[in-house]
Protein backbone atom coordinates (compact mmCIF):
# COMPACT_ATOMS: atom_id res chain seq x y z
CA UNK A 1 0.00 0.00 0.00
CA UNK A 2 2.61 2.42 1.06
CA UNK A 3 4.81 2.46 -2.02
CA UNK A 4 1.79 2.82 -4.31
CA UNK A 5 0.50 5.88 -2.55
CA UNK A 6 3.96 7.38 -2.70
CA UNK A 7 4.04 6.93 -6.47
CA UNK A 8 0.61 8.41 -7.02
CA UNK A 9 1.45 11.39 -4.89
CA UNK A 10 4.60 11.99 -6.93
CA UNK A 11 2.62 11.69 -10.15
CA UNK A 12 0.03 14.12 -8.94
CA UNK A 13 2.72 16.57 -8.07
CA UNK A 14 4.16 16.25 -11.58
CA UNK A 15 0.77 16.59 -13.19
CA UNK A 16 -0.01 19.60 -11.11
CA UNK A 17 3.32 21.12 -11.98
CA UNK A 18 3.09 20.62 -15.68
CA UNK A 19 -0.40 20.68 -17.11
CA UNK A 20 1.01 21.98 -20.37
CA UNK A 21 2.91 18.70 -20.87
CA UNK A 22 -0.32 16.77 -20.50
CA UNK A 23 -2.10 18.96 -23.01
CA UNK A 24 0.80 18.58 -25.38
CA UNK A 25 0.74 14.80 -24.98
CA UNK A 26 -3.00 14.69 -25.56
CA UNK A 27 -2.58 16.73 -28.70
CA UNK A 28 0.15 14.43 -29.97
CA UNK A 29 -1.92 11.30 -29.25
CA UNK A 30 -5.00 12.94 -30.72
CA UNK A 31 -3.31 14.04 -33.93
CA UNK A 32 -1.70 10.64 -34.40
CA UNK A 33 -5.21 9.19 -34.74
CA UNK A 34 -6.30 11.92 -37.14
CA UNK A 35 -6.18 12.05 -40.94
CA UNK A 36 -2.77 10.97 -42.24
CA UNK A 37 -1.21 10.35 -45.64
CA UNK A 38 0.32 6.89 -46.01
CA UNK A 39 1.33 7.16 -49.67
CA UNK A 40 0.31 8.51 -53.03
CA UNK A 41 0.95 5.80 -55.62
CA UNK A 42 1.64 7.16 -59.09
CA UNK A 43 2.97 4.84 -61.83
CA UNK A 44 6.54 5.95 -62.49
CA UNK A 45 6.95 5.07 -66.20
CA UNK A 46 3.61 4.09 -67.71
CA UNK A 47 3.41 3.53 -71.46
CA UNK A 48 1.48 5.87 -73.70
CA UNK A 49 -2.18 5.09 -74.54
CA UNK A 50 -2.47 2.83 -71.50
CA UNK A 51 -4.97 3.17 -68.63
CA UNK A 52 -3.49 3.95 -65.24
CA UNK A 53 -4.63 4.08 -61.64
CA UNK A 54 -3.52 6.76 -59.19
CA UNK A 55 -4.04 5.82 -55.56
CA UNK A 56 -4.37 8.19 -52.62
CA UNK A 57 -3.63 6.04 -49.63
CA UNK A 58 -4.72 8.10 -46.62
CA UNK A 59 -5.82 7.03 -43.18
CA UNK A 60 -8.87 8.83 -41.78
CA UNK A 61 -8.64 7.65 -38.19
CA UNK A 62 -11.77 8.84 -36.32
CA UNK A 63 -12.13 11.81 -38.72
CA UNK A 64 -14.72 12.11 -41.44
CA UNK A 65 -13.65 12.90 -44.97
CA UNK A 66 -14.56 16.29 -46.32
CA UNK A 67 -12.87 16.15 -49.74
CA UNK A 68 -10.22 14.56 -51.90
CA UNK A 69 -8.70 16.65 -54.67
CA UNK A 70 -6.30 15.62 -57.42
CA UNK A 71 -3.94 17.98 -59.24
CA UNK A 72 -1.64 17.64 -62.21
CA UNK A 73 1.18 20.20 -62.10
CA UNK A 74 -0.97 22.33 -59.80
CA UNK A 75 -4.21 22.19 -61.85
CA UNK A 76 -7.13 20.41 -60.23
CA UNK A 77 -8.64 17.70 -62.43
CA UNK A 78 -10.75 15.64 -60.03
CA UNK A 79 -12.63 16.28 -56.82
CA UNK A 80 -14.52 13.93 -54.55
CA UNK A 81 -16.78 15.41 -51.84
CA UNK A 82 -18.93 12.74 -50.12
CA UNK A 83 -21.63 15.29 -49.19
CA UNK A 84 -22.09 16.53 -52.76
CA UNK A 85 -24.45 14.93 -55.29
CA UNK A 86 -22.94 13.50 -57.29
CA UNK A 87 -19.91 13.25 -55.00
CA UNK A 88 -17.36 13.39 -57.81
CA UNK A 89 -16.61 15.91 -60.51
CA UNK A 90 -13.75 16.43 -62.92
CA UNK A 91 -12.21 19.46 -64.57
CA UNK A 92 -10.67 19.85 -67.99
CA UNK A 93 -6.93 19.59 -67.80
CA UNK A 94 -5.08 18.84 -71.07
CA UNK A 95 -3.98 15.19 -71.49
CA UNK A 96 -5.84 14.07 -68.36
CA UNK A 97 -8.84 11.89 -69.23
CA UNK A 98 -10.59 10.76 -66.05
CA UNK A 99 -12.64 7.58 -66.08
CA UNK A 100 -15.31 8.86 -63.70
CA UNK A 101 -17.06 5.51 -63.22
CA UNK A 102 -13.91 3.89 -61.93
CA UNK A 103 -12.71 6.80 -59.81
CA UNK A 104 -13.68 7.37 -56.20
CA UNK A 105 -12.52 8.76 -52.87
CA UNK A 106 -9.41 6.53 -52.94
CA UNK A 107 -8.27 6.37 -56.53
CA UNK A 108 -8.50 7.98 -59.93
CA UNK A 109 -8.35 6.11 -63.22
CA UNK A 110 -6.93 7.89 -66.25
CA UNK A 111 -7.45 6.54 -69.77
CA UNK A 112 -5.48 6.95 -72.99
CA UNK A 113 -2.54 8.70 -71.40
CA UNK A 114 -0.05 10.36 -73.71
CA UNK A 115 3.47 11.76 -73.47
CA UNK A 116 1.88 15.05 -72.41
CA UNK A 117 0.28 13.37 -69.41
CA UNK A 118 3.72 13.31 -67.77
CA UNK A 119 4.03 15.53 -64.73
CA UNK A 120 3.62 15.82 -60.99
CA UNK A 121 0.40 14.38 -59.60
CA UNK A 122 -0.78 15.51 -56.17
CA UNK A 123 -3.54 14.18 -53.97
CA UNK A 124 -4.93 16.39 -51.24
CA UNK A 125 -7.35 15.11 -48.61
CA UNK A 126 -9.21 17.17 -46.01
CA UNK A 127 -11.17 16.16 -42.94
CA UNK A 128 -14.39 17.66 -41.70
CA UNK A 129 -15.00 19.73 -38.58
CA UNK A 130 -13.82 19.98 -35.92
CA UNK A 131 -10.29 19.35 -37.10
CA UNK A 132 -10.29 20.59 -40.74
CA UNK A 133 -6.99 18.93 -41.36
CA UNK A 134 -5.53 18.91 -44.87
CA UNK A 135 -2.81 16.57 -45.98
CA UNK A 136 -1.23 15.85 -49.34
CA UNK A 137 1.28 13.72 -51.16
CA UNK A 138 2.59 13.56 -54.68
CA UNK A 139 4.42 11.51 -57.26
CA UNK A 140 6.18 12.13 -60.54
CA UNK A 141 5.00 10.36 -63.65
CA UNK A 142 6.89 10.10 -66.90
CA UNK A 143 4.99 8.54 -69.77
CA UNK A 144 7.13 6.57 -72.18
CA UNK A 145 6.46 5.65 -75.77
CA UNK A 146 7.82 2.23 -76.70
CA UNK A 147 9.69 1.60 -79.98
CA UNK A 148 7.57 0.55 -82.97
CA UNK A 149 9.44 -2.73 -83.29
CA UNK A 150 12.25 -4.89 -81.99
CA UNK A 151 15.71 -3.52 -82.80
CA UNK A 152 16.33 -3.72 -86.56
CA UNK A 153 19.72 -5.02 -87.70
CA UNK A 154 20.92 -3.79 -91.07
CA UNK A 155 24.03 -4.05 -93.15
CA UNK A 156 25.11 -7.52 -92.04
CA UNK A 157 25.92 -10.30 -94.47
CA UNK A 158 23.69 -13.29 -93.67
CA UNK A 159 25.73 -15.53 -96.00
CA UNK A 160 28.65 -15.36 -93.64
CA UNK A 161 32.09 -13.87 -93.14
CA UNK A 162 35.67 -14.92 -93.66
CA UNK A 163 38.33 -14.50 -91.00
CA UNK A 164 39.84 -10.97 -91.24
CA UNK A 165 36.75 -9.57 -93.00
CA UNK A 166 35.00 -6.58 -91.45
CA UNK A 167 31.54 -6.84 -90.01
CA UNK A 168 29.63 -3.56 -90.17
CA UNK A 169 26.09 -3.68 -88.76
CA UNK A 170 23.64 -1.02 -87.60
CA UNK A 171 21.13 -1.61 -84.85
CA UNK A 172 18.10 0.67 -84.97
CA UNK A 173 15.30 1.06 -82.44
CA UNK A 174 12.59 3.11 -84.13
CA UNK A 175 10.33 5.82 -82.71
CA UNK A 176 10.42 5.86 -78.96
CA UNK A 177 10.57 8.38 -76.19
CA UNK A 178 12.92 8.61 -74.50
CA UNK A 179 15.40 7.27 -77.09
CA UNK A 180 16.11 3.59 -76.43
CA UNK A 181 19.49 2.57 -74.99
CA UNK A 182 21.25 0.16 -77.34
CA UNK A 183 24.07 -2.30 -76.63
CA UNK A 184 26.00 -4.72 -78.79
CA UNK A 185 27.28 -8.15 -77.81
CA UNK A 186 29.56 -10.52 -79.73
CA UNK A 187 28.89 -14.13 -78.75
CA UNK A 188 27.05 -12.84 -75.67
CA UNK A 189 30.02 -10.84 -74.46
CA UNK A 190 30.20 -7.07 -74.08
CA UNK A 191 31.88 -5.46 -77.02
CA UNK A 192 35.12 -3.50 -76.92
CA UNK A 193 34.02 0.17 -77.08
CA UNK A 194 36.46 0.70 -79.96
CA UNK A 195 34.15 -1.41 -82.16
CA UNK A 196 31.13 0.79 -81.40
CA UNK A 197 30.04 3.94 -83.17
CA UNK A 198 27.29 5.87 -81.37
CA UNK A 199 25.11 7.79 -83.81
CA UNK A 200 23.05 10.70 -82.44
CA UNK A 201 19.36 9.81 -81.89
CA UNK A 202 17.30 10.85 -84.87
CA UNK A 203 14.23 12.93 -84.01
CA UNK A 204 11.29 11.57 -85.93
CA UNK A 205 7.62 12.59 -85.91
CA UNK A 206 5.66 13.54 -82.80
CA UNK A 207 8.71 14.10 -80.65
CA UNK A 208 9.84 10.48 -80.91
CA UNK A 209 13.43 9.32 -81.36
CA UNK A 210 15.12 6.65 -83.40
CA UNK A 211 18.33 5.31 -81.83
CA UNK A 212 21.10 3.76 -83.90
CA UNK A 213 24.26 2.04 -82.72
CA UNK A 214 26.81 0.81 -85.22
CA UNK A 215 29.09 -2.18 -84.70
CA UNK A 216 32.21 -2.36 -86.85
CA UNK A 217 35.03 -4.81 -86.23
CA UNK A 218 37.43 -7.16 -87.97
CA UNK A 219 36.61 -10.83 -87.50
CA UNK A 220 39.26 -13.04 -85.93
CA UNK A 221 39.37 -16.80 -85.81
CA UNK A 222 38.34 -16.80 -82.14
CA UNK A 223 35.08 -15.00 -82.95
CA UNK A 224 33.79 -18.16 -84.65
CA UNK A 225 32.38 -20.63 -82.18
CA UNK A 226 31.39 -23.94 -83.74
CA UNK A 227 31.80 -22.26 -87.08
CA UNK A 228 29.49 -19.31 -86.34
CA UNK A 229 29.62 -15.81 -84.96
CA UNK A 230 26.63 -14.30 -83.16
CA UNK A 231 26.14 -10.58 -82.74
CA UNK A 232 23.26 -9.35 -80.63
CA UNK A 233 21.78 -5.92 -80.06
CA UNK A 234 19.62 -5.12 -77.03
CA UNK A 235 17.28 -2.18 -76.70
CA UNK A 236 16.10 -0.92 -73.29
CA UNK A 237 14.09 1.95 -71.86
CA UNK A 238 14.52 2.24 -68.10
CA UNK A 239 13.33 -1.04 -66.64
CA UNK A 240 10.10 -0.94 -68.63
CA UNK A 241 11.23 -2.19 -72.01
CA UNK A 242 13.70 -4.81 -73.17
CA UNK A 243 13.99 -6.36 -76.62
CA UNK A 244 16.88 -7.88 -78.52
CA UNK A 245 17.72 -9.02 -82.04
CA UNK A 246 20.62 -11.10 -83.20
CA UNK A 247 22.50 -12.20 -86.26
CA UNK A 248 23.92 -15.72 -86.29
CA UNK A 249 26.16 -16.13 -89.33
CA UNK A 250 28.55 -18.86 -90.46
CA UNK A 251 32.27 -18.44 -90.94
CA UNK A 252 33.34 -18.99 -94.54
CA UNK A 253 36.44 -20.98 -95.46
CA UNK A 254 37.20 -21.78 -91.85
CA UNK A 255 38.56 -25.28 -92.71
CA UNK A 256 42.24 -24.47 -93.26
CA UNK A 257 42.18 -21.71 -90.68
CA UNK A 258 40.75 -24.07 -88.11
CA UNK A 259 43.44 -26.67 -88.86
CA UNK A 260 46.10 -24.01 -88.74
CA UNK A 261 45.02 -22.80 -85.35
CA UNK A 262 45.05 -26.37 -84.02
CA UNK A 263 48.64 -27.06 -85.05
CA UNK A 264 49.81 -23.64 -83.97
CA UNK A 265 48.15 -23.82 -80.62
CA UNK A 266 49.48 -25.69 -77.60
CA UNK A 267 49.10 -29.46 -78.00
CA UNK A 268 46.63 -30.98 -75.58
CA UNK A 269 48.01 -34.52 -75.91
CA UNK A 270 51.43 -35.39 -77.29
CA UNK A 271 50.79 -38.19 -79.77
CA UNK A 272 53.88 -40.10 -78.66
CA UNK A 273 52.49 -40.13 -75.12
CA UNK A 274 49.19 -41.64 -76.16
CA UNK A 275 50.07 -45.38 -76.22
CA UNK A 276 51.74 -45.07 -72.85
CA UNK A 277 48.66 -43.44 -71.32
CA UNK A 278 46.41 -46.09 -72.84
CA UNK A 279 48.46 -48.94 -71.37
CA UNK A 280 48.57 -47.23 -67.98
CA UNK A 281 44.84 -46.79 -67.99
CA UNK A 282 44.21 -50.43 -68.90
CA UNK A 283 46.59 -51.59 -66.18
CA UNK A 284 44.96 -49.32 -63.65
CA UNK A 285 41.56 -50.77 -64.46
CA UNK A 286 42.76 -54.36 -64.31
CA UNK A 287 44.49 -53.92 -60.97
CA UNK A 288 41.83 -51.83 -59.31
CA UNK A 289 38.98 -54.02 -60.49
CA UNK A 290 40.50 -57.53 -60.89
CA UNK A 291 38.42 -59.90 -63.09
CA UNK A 292 37.60 -62.34 -60.22
CA UNK A 293 35.89 -59.55 -58.35
CA UNK A 294 32.53 -58.15 -59.27
CA UNK A 295 32.80 -55.98 -62.33
CA UNK A 296 30.74 -52.86 -61.77
CA UNK A 297 30.08 -50.28 -64.38
CA UNK A 298 33.52 -48.96 -63.58
CA UNK A 299 34.68 -46.00 -65.59
CA UNK A 300 38.29 -45.90 -66.49
CA UNK A 301 39.90 -42.55 -66.52
CA UNK A 302 43.45 -41.68 -67.31
CA UNK A 303 45.48 -41.57 -64.10
CA UNK A 304 47.06 -38.20 -63.39
CA UNK A 305 50.42 -38.44 -65.08
CA UNK A 306 53.04 -35.86 -64.43
CA UNK A 307 55.94 -36.29 -66.78
CA UNK A 308 58.27 -34.35 -64.56
CA UNK A 309 57.57 -36.38 -61.44
CA UNK A 310 59.44 -39.70 -61.16
CA UNK A 311 57.24 -40.79 -58.21
CA UNK A 312 53.61 -41.17 -59.09
CA UNK A 313 53.37 -43.03 -55.75
CA UNK A 314 52.05 -39.91 -54.06
CA UNK A 315 48.96 -39.68 -56.18
CA UNK A 316 48.17 -43.38 -56.59
CA UNK A 317 48.25 -45.48 -53.43
CA UNK A 318 45.45 -47.98 -53.91
CA UNK A 319 47.41 -50.98 -55.10
CA UNK A 320 51.04 -51.80 -54.39
CA UNK A 321 51.13 -54.25 -57.31
CA UNK A 322 50.01 -51.50 -59.53
CA UNK A 323 52.66 -49.17 -58.18
CA UNK A 324 55.37 -51.66 -58.99
CA UNK A 325 54.23 -52.05 -62.57
CA UNK A 326 53.74 -48.34 -62.85
CA UNK A 327 57.29 -47.67 -61.77
CA UNK A 328 58.53 -50.35 -64.15
CA UNK A 329 56.79 -48.66 -67.05
CA UNK A 330 58.10 -45.32 -65.93
CA UNK A 331 61.65 -46.67 -65.85
CA UNK A 332 61.35 -48.51 -69.14
CA UNK A 333 60.24 -45.30 -70.78
CA UNK A 334 63.03 -43.15 -69.49
Ligand X SMILES: *[C@@H]1O[C@H](CO)[C@@H](O)[C@H](O)[C@H]1NC(C)=O
- Please report, as ranges, the residues that interact with ligand X according to CB under 6 A: 154-155, 168-170, 199, 212, 214, 267, 270, 272
Tell me whether residue 109 is exposed, middle or buried, using C-beta atoms within 10 angstroms of its C-beta: 0 to 12, 13 to 18, 19 or more: middle
As a whole number of angstroms, the distance between CA 252 and CA 8 comes to 97
Distance in Å, CB of 214 to ligand X, minimum: 5
Query: Read out DSSP for 241-278?
Result: EEEEEEEEEEEESHHHHHHHHHHHS--SS-GGGHHHHH
**Smallest separation, CB 315 to ligand X (Å):** 20
Residue nearest to ligand X (CB): 155
Closest contact distance (angstroms) between CB of 213 and ligand X is 9
Residue 248, strand partner residues? 230
For ligand X, give the closer residue by CB, 62 or 155. 155
Alpha carbons within 13 angstroms on the beta-carbon side of residue 72 total: 22
Torsion-angle region of residue 177: left (phi > 0), alpha (psi -120 to 50) or beta?
Answer: beta
In the bound state with ligand X, the residue whose beta carbon lies nearer, of 133 and 216, is: 216
Identity of the residue, 134 or 157, whose beta carbon is nearer to ligand X in the bound complex: 157
CB nearer to ligand X: pick between 214 and 223: 214
- Minimum distance of ligand X from residue 194's CB (angstroms): 17
- Minimum distance between the CB of residue 190 and ligand X, rounded to whole angstroms? 21
E-assigned strands of 13-51? 36-41
DSSP β-ladder status, 228-237 and 241-252: antiparallel
- Of 93 and 249, the one with the shorter C-beta distance to ligand X is 249
Amino acid sequence: MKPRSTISTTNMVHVALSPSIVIFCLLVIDSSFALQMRSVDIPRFPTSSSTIRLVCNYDLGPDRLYSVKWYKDGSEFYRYVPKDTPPSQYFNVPSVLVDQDQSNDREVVLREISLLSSGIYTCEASSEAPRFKTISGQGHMKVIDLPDSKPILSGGSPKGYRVSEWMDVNCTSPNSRPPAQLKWYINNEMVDPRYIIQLPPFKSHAGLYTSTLRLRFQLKRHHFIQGHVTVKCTSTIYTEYFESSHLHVPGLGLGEKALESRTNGSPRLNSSQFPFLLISCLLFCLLTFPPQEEFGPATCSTPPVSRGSPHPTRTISTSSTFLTSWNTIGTSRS
